[in-house]
Structure formats: C-alpha cells, structure tokens
Structure 1
Amino acid sequence: MKINGCRVLVITVVALLALTGSPLRAQTDKMVIDNSKVSGGKTRPAVTFPHNKHIEVSLSCKDCHHIYENGKNILDENKLEEGNQDIRCSACHDPKFRLNLEQAFHNQCMGCHTKYQKEKKKTGPRFCGECHVRK
C-alpha cells in the first residue's frame, strides 16, 4: 500500500499536536481570583473567573492579556501557560503603578462587559455582587 507524503505529514502534525497539547487547552475552566492580600483588607469575596467561557466567545488572548511597549501589545502568546509567574497580572499591576491590580481587573472586565452591553451582545456581570458572590 502506497501512502503519499502529504498524508504522512498531516498525520504526523495531528499526532504531535495531540501528544503535546497546547497552552490554550491546558487552561483551567474556572480560575479563582483572590486579591484580598493586595486589596487593602477589603471584604469582597474572591471572584470565580470562567476562563473557558471567554475563550469560547472567540476573544483573542491579547484582548485581556497584555504587555505594552510604546503603545503596542508585545505579549508573546506562547508564554500564556498556567503557572507562569512572569505573565500574572500582579507582575505589573501593583500599588506602585498607575493602575493597581484591583483597578486593572475592574477596568478590563467591566469595561468589556459594558461595551458588549452597549452593542446589544450577550455579556457578563457588571456590578460588584455579580462577580464577588457571597456564599
């Protein structure tokens, strides 16, 4: 039986992707964002962030994750792997910077959700108690 080179190449690439996985598939479905240590003792509960839901609506990774240099997002998406401390929001957004971590989350999340609402698109929570759910 004769197998052409193109078929072998496709099978090899598919097998490699299946075996190695991808950072996107490796992300957890829900992430808990608990910034109580950096929020100045505020009492709002942690936020359960549905990461996969944001991926499903086809947001680009760079819509949320960013490293700006001269006004351009230069983030290398290959570094977006779970547990990589260098790409954690808190690596840049701390009290010393213009936008601290709390402000960064609020601007990013609520800003996007409000924009979607104005465009009459299905959106996520926009008010404190919708993200910071008391149990």
Structure 2
Amino acid sequence: QIVNIGSTFGSIGFSCFTSYSTSKFALRGFSQALRRELVDTGVGVTYIAPRGVDTPLNPPAVYEMAKEVKMRFDQPEYVADQILDAIRKDRKEKYIGFPESLFARVNGVFPGLVDNSLRKQNTTMKKYAEQDGNR
C-alpha cells in the first residue's frame, strides 16, 4: 500500500499558499494516476488530505492567521488514526476534517462559488503573507 500525504489545500487553492497548494494538487494527481497504473498489480494507492495539523512545523504566524480566519487544526495522533483507518478500509482518498472536506468537494464542482466565499479570507491571509515576506 502506497500512502501519499497531501492536504485539503490539494483540492482548494488558497491564496498566499500558492506553492504549497500547487505541490499538493500535483501529489493528488500523481496518486490518482499511479493508482490507475497499478490497478492490476495488487499495490494500492491512497491519497490522504488532512486539514491543518498542529505540529511544530507551523510557524506562529500561521496559527495567528488561522485563528483570525477560523481555520481549524487537528492533533497528529488523530490524523494518524484516520490514516490507519483509510489503509484498513482500502480507501482511495481520505479527506480529514469537517467542514474542510466538504469544501474541497464543493470546490471540485463549483470553484467559482468557493472563489467568492474565500474573498474576505484572502484579504486577511495576504496581510500575514506580507508580514512574513512571502509576497
């Protein structure tokens, strides 16, 4: 079983996370293509897409921004349990966290709707990106 850990950002392109979102979109596409390529080999491919995970890898500015835009984080142990559950159930994809998992699905069908709903959040996120020198 090959398990690729992506992100909700691999289904929803967030402003100020352009490079990160792009890499996760690519990993999701790679996972789908590889799963289809390996279909008759007995090797499965699962793509995992958690929302934010509360780890030391996130700088303080990310937590400040997340608080302001009401972004939620999960504990690493919870995410690990969800990954193991997806492997046991031979899931092709697993999106972790609500409402982010729903938002990712909506974005796949109605991206313009998501564009409009993120407009206010984008302004807030840009403020943090400018402080961090990422713009």
TM bucket (normalised to shorter chain) is under 0.3
Structure having the higher strand fraction is 2
Larger RCO, structure (CA 8 Å, separation 6 or more): 2
**Please, what TM-score do these two structures have when normalized by structure 1?**
0.25
Structure having the higher helix fraction is 2
**Please, what TM-score do these two structures have when normalized by structure 2?**
0.25
